[in-house]
Amino acid sequence: MTTVSLRVGRALLLSSAAALAMQAAAFAQTAEPQAAPQDEESSVDEVVVTGIRATQRNSIAVKRETATIVDAIVNDEIGSLPDNSVGDTLERITGVTADRFKGNANELSVRGLGPTLSFSTFNGREVSTAGPDRSVAFQQFPSELVNGVLVYKSQQADFVDGGIAGVIDLRSIRPLEATPRLQAEYRAVYQPKDDAIRGRDGLGYRANISWTNRWLDTAIGDLGLSIGYQHQDQAVPEDYYTTNSAFIPCDTSANNPNLITGASAQQTAAGTSFNCALRPTLSAANQAGTTQGPLYFGTTSRTFRQISTSEERDGLLGAIQWRPTDRLDFTLDAQYSNRSSLENRNQLAITEAARGITPTLIGNGSNGYSEGALISYTGNSNLEVQFEDRLREEEYIGGGLFGRWQGERLRVTGDLSYSQSHRTELQKATNMRSARRVVYSLDGTNDVVPSVNFVGFDVTDPSNFLIATPASNTNYARYRLVTDREDAIAAARVDAVYDLNEDGFFRSIGFGARVSEHTRETDLNNNGDVAIPIARDGLTAAQLTARANAECRVPFATDQFMRGSATNISSWAQFDNDCLFRAYTGRDTNPLLADSRGPEDIDVTETISALYAMTTFGTDWGNIPVSGNIGLRYVSTEVEARGFRSAVTVTPSVAGSAATIVVVPGTLSQITGEGDYDYWLPSANLNLDLSDRMRLRFGVSRSIARVGIEEFNVGINPIVDATATTVAGVLANSQTGNPNLKPLEAWNFDSSLEFYLNEDTSFSIAPYYKLVKGAAFDAVQPFTTSIIANGQEVTFNAVAPANDTEQRHLYGVELSGSHVFTYLPGLWSGLGVSAGYNYAEADFEFPDPSTVAPYVDPANLRGLSRHSANASLFWEGAGLQLRAAWRYRSDYSKPNSSTNRGVQGAGYLNLSASYRVNRHVQFKAQALNVLNERDVLYKAGEDSITEVSESTPQIYAGFVLRY
């Protein structure tokens, strides 16, 4: 990381880009209603509009004046955006939707097109992320410390490259262009689900303080300072129902699902001793224990999970602005975020959920359930109670130096920026297993969270979870640093704009250059696991397990598990995780690996260089003023990836025997891979002022969206094809990354017809069409690579990501509008509304990479929602503000763990209110997710449920002090 900083530091550029500077100026002008000084007499009758209405006016002004198609939420009062995170704020912009994480908006999609097709910036700069891809976790930016968000939906040449769906830009305050103030806010939060947890009271808080000031006409020029700090301490409780990461196709039905005792041959004949499968693939003995029926999708585990959480977050934003002369301006800004989140997981797991299945209801597409969905069945399994403490710590540091020099006609700007994100995730886990397999019946006809009846087994009795003779992983103590990820982006850019003759067709010409270096280092699976209790102090593993079962029992954590669902599972036997861990190991932690390197680790450097030229123009076509810009951006990208592989011993299949791969200890070595690509990205925007109230826009551009940086990993993870008869064939299931992956590229055709009836009223219709190529498939064969096998280098075809060679089509239309009913009498004049709707359609096809692929339709583009909508109804007057905000997105794809996965559509309603007592004191209240909407995920059809998360409404109340 030091090398990155030094490289950028040596560049010694002055500051940001020309168009960014112009847009920042427009932003500042609209965001600061008092920017233009007036004498006392002329301002006596001025009506000052504040609050929701002021935000709406500012946002309309930004949308109207910007050269591209844009939507915005702008407020000059730092801390005025009434949302918990910037993600929540952005969801109030038409066409912007979020994926949910811990009940809050997280990864953002523009026009329903998924987070990978959008590009996010902070003050015009690319920012790092601690997630596995490039999607920015907007939760790390508290809305109290951000005063504007803009979403550009068409491109121009001076934008940082990387967005097809749009560019999301967050703006912090510029102190010389803001109203001086000191502000403090405190909000208490109450969450009913947390209150129901043993030892908790459901309470938490958020607090922030910010100060903005400016000193004009000093000996060294104008100075401005803004700084804001926020602290959050609250729980994020959730209840879950989950399955394992993949479903399997089956058509078997066990002959006698209740027979789980007796000789092995008897259980085989009953069909209860093995997993469901496609019957022709079973052995003759197993076929005899089953009958063949309709196809269904089984899963190898089903889990009910209760989570107690605590989360602390600190956020700090600040800026210093210095204007030594009217021609020269510098701004130094910085951001810091630190989040520590602890989950205490308490689970009841059906660990062999595919064993001995006898279906009783299978979806067929016409009986109310999707084809192959296993809605109810009888099976048998060992049961486990599992406990895990999962600590995630995440830190973000970012900032930069922006400078601008303004001559008579020439403007030169430059920018140096750096951001770094670091995430670690530490897991500590134990379990207790049932002494025998248990017959159970599962029924999902009443709810997506099924009911389960266990035959002759009480899951709430701790003594039922005691094995007489522990074996490997029947009683484990796992200690894992599962993630240690560091991401850093350093960038420098310089731009120049020269204003031409105002009477000519071309109004300005600009040039610019940018260079950035993006590094990603990820250490995965540093595991220190104990698979069976460690015999010590004269006690055997069995004796230690028995003692732990007796001494580590605790009451069930909550009396409201899955209260929003119809399941009958409300509690189970619970043990203290720390107590079990000490009983199994004699210590509080396990030692991690001294050398945790492995093929899953990632070390990638991506270097990007860009040049652009752009001209703006303006003229009149008859009585129609016309303006716009046209430009060309050149982008060159180089990728260097480093990974690991070990030598292996491969034994091919002979006469039907199973082939094997054995890793040779002590042979780990580093390998490297390289990739590069270049793109020319033209763009043009045309704006026609059809009247004082109507503007027509057109935009055409070529843009790219880069694939996840971790896809470039070149480490080789050997996976056996047990039926292959050659060395290369045995290795063919092995997985790796692809440093030669290219970004998605698209030709974008955008238009927007916008009506501005007055400063409080606007509406628009914006059709768009995109030709997209190069989408990345997660797992594709073949990818040619090599490994040391049986003492020599062997070239083989592995599984790796690959680009789609087909031309895909994506189109949609976006409707948006806002209005304040100022013409209504009395109190009704404070009523206002804003709303938006986006429809998107595409023809992408991502086959499921798991074994269900032949039986299910391919997934569409990741994150693509066909329908998304948002609406806000507000009223304000006499210091009181009321707002109801609703947002909805329809089903979308969210793949994980080498399988396709979908998210069911859902709508969320938030309410907020505030009352301004006087210019110094304001009271606030909020209720988030008041309908207690659940998040539901599925695989292999919308009724093959893989995850249901139930959070809780969040109720906030507090006050703001301003001076």
Mean pLDDT of the chain: 89
> CA-CA distance, 15 to 34, in Å (whole number)?
27
Mean pLDDT in residue range 130-139: 78
Chain segment 693-713, per-residue pLDDT in tens: 999 999 999 999 999 899 999
Could you give the angle at which helices 577-585 and 541-551 cross, rounded to 10 degrees?
A: 160
Neighbours of 238 (CB within 10 A): 21
- Quick one: pLDDT band at residue 602, thresholds 50, 70, 90? very high
- Burial code of 97-127, b = ≥16 C-beta within 10 A, e = fewer? bbbbbbbbbbbbbbbbbbbbbbbbbbbbbbb
Q: Does residue 104 have a pLDDT over 70? A: no
* DSSP helix/strand/coil, 627: strand
**Amino acid (one-letter) located at 525:** N
Place of tokens 């989040």: 339
Q: What pLDDT, on a 0 to 100 scale, did the predictor assign at position 105?
A: 61
Stretch (H or E) spanning 730? helix 727-730
Mean pLDDT in residue range 441-452: 97
Q: What pLDDT, on a 0 to 100 scale, did the predictor assign at position 103?
A: 57
Find out whether 169 and 121 touch, Cβ atoms under 8 Å.
yes
Chain segment 807-838, per-residue pLDDT in tens: 999 999 999 999 999 999 999 999 999 999 99
User: What 8-state DSSP symbol labels residue 579?
Assistant: H
Neighbours of 959 (CB within 10 A): 16
> CA-CA distance, 164 to 745, in Å (whole number)?
8
Of 26-35, 496-505, 634-643, 946-955, where does the model show the most confidence?
634-643
User: What 8-state DSSP symbol labels residue 279?
Assistant: G
> CA-CA distance, 763 to 835, in Å (whole number)?
9
- Quick one: pLDDT band at residue 42, thresholds 50, 70, 90? very low
Q: What pLDDT, on a 0 to 100 scale, did the predictor assign at position 193?
A: 93
- In terms of Cβ atoms closer than 10 Å to its own Cβ (0-12, 13-18, 19+), residue 505 is exposed
> CA-CA distance, 959 to 314, in Å (whole number)?
19
The first and second tokens of residue 916, run together, are 């301004």
Cα 679–681–684 angle (5° rounding)? 175
Find out whether 115 and 129 touch, Cβ atoms under 8 Å.
no
Find out whether 760 and 53 touch, Cβ atoms under 8 Å.
yes
Chain segment 196-218, per-residue pLDDT in tens: 999 999 999 999 999 999 999 99
Q: Does residue 720 have a pLDDT over 90? A: yes
Our separate counts of H helices and E strands in the chain read: 10, 46
Neighbours of 624 (CB within 10 A): 12
Q: Does residue 784 have a pLDDT over 70? A: yes
Chain segment 731-743, per-residue pLDDT in tens: 999 999 999 999 9
The size of the chain, in residues, is 963
Stretch (H or E) spanning 509? strand 506-530
Q: What pLDDT, on a 0 to 100 scale, did the predictor assign at position 128?
A: 92
DSSP secondary structure, 40-85, as one string: TTTTTT-----HHHHHHHHHHHHHHHSSS-EEEEE-SSTT---SSS
* DSSP helix/strand/coil, 353: coil
Chain segment 546-571, per-residue pLDDT in tens: 999 999 999 999 999 999 999 999 99
Q: Does residue 7 have a pLDDT over 60? A: no
Cite the beta strand spans of 130-202 per DSSP E. Answer: 148-152, 166-171, 181-190
Sign of the Cα pseudo-torsion (933, 935, 941, 944, in order): negative
* DSSP helix/strand/coil, 577: helix
- Quick one: pLDDT band at residue 899, thresholds 50, 70, 90? confident
Q: What pLDDT, on a 0 to 100 scale, did the predictor assign at position 37?
A: 31
Q: Are strands 410-433 and 358-362 parallel, antiparallel or unpaired?
A: unpaired
Mean pLDDT in residue range 917-936: 92
Q: Does residue 43 have a pLDDT over 50? A: no
Q: Does residue 879 have a pLDDT over 70? A: yes
Q: Who wins on pLDDT, 90 or 816?
A: 816
Mean pLDDT in residue range 534-552: 96
> CA-CA distance, 274 to 295, in Å (whole number)?
17
Find out whether 421 and 357 touch, Cβ atoms under 8 Å.
no
- In terms of Cβ atoms closer than 10 Å to its own Cβ (0-12, 13-18, 19+), residue 658 is exposed
Mean pLDDT in residue range 273-297: 96
**Percent of the residues in the chain that have a pLDDT greater than 70, as a whole number:** 91
Sign of the Cα pseudo-torsion (577, 570, 937, 849, in order): positive
Q: What pLDDT, on a 0 to 100 scale, did the predictor assign at position 85?
A: 66
Q: Does residue 29 have a pLDDT over 90? A: no
Place of tokens 């290795």: 731
- Quick one: pLDDT band at residue 133, thresholds 50, 70, 90? confident
Q: What pLDDT, on a 0 to 100 scale, did the predictor assign at position 26?
A: 36
DSSP secondary structure, 537-572, as one string: TTB-HHHHHHHHHHHSEE--SBS-TTTTS--S----
Q: Does residue 436 have a pLDDT over 50? A: yes
> CA-CA distance, 548 to 577, in Å (whole number)?
10
> CA-CA distance, 588 to 510, in Å (whole number)?
62
Find out whether 800 and 736 touch, Cβ atoms under 8 Å.
yes
The first and second tokens of residue 957, run together, are 């109340």
- How many Å from the N-terminal Cα to the C-terminal Cα in the chain? 41
Cite the beta strand spans of 219-282 per DSSP E. Answer: 221-234, 238-243, 247-254
Q: What pLDDT, on a 0 to 100 scale, did the predictor assign at position 331?
A: 96
Give the distance, in angstroms, between the CA of residue 257 and the centroid of all CA atoms in the same chain. Answer: 42
Mean pLDDT in residue range 315-319: 91
Q: For residue 86, give every residue at least 6 positions away whose Cβ sits within 8 Å of its Cβ, in sequence order, or none.
A: 138, 141, 142, 143, 146, 149, 170
| Cis status, amide bond into 280, omega within 30 of 0 | no
Q: For residue 715, give every residue at least 6 positions away whose Cβ sits within 8 Å of its Cβ, in sequence order, or none.
A: 598, 599, 600, 601, 602, 643, 644, 645, 671, 736, 737
> CA-CA distance, 601 to 244, in Å (whole number)?
23
> CA-CA distance, 70 to 752, in Å (whole number)?
10
pTM: predicted TM-score of the whole model, two decimal places: 0.88
Find out whether 116 and 705 touch, Cβ atoms under 8 Å.
yes
* DSSP helix/strand/coil, 6: helix
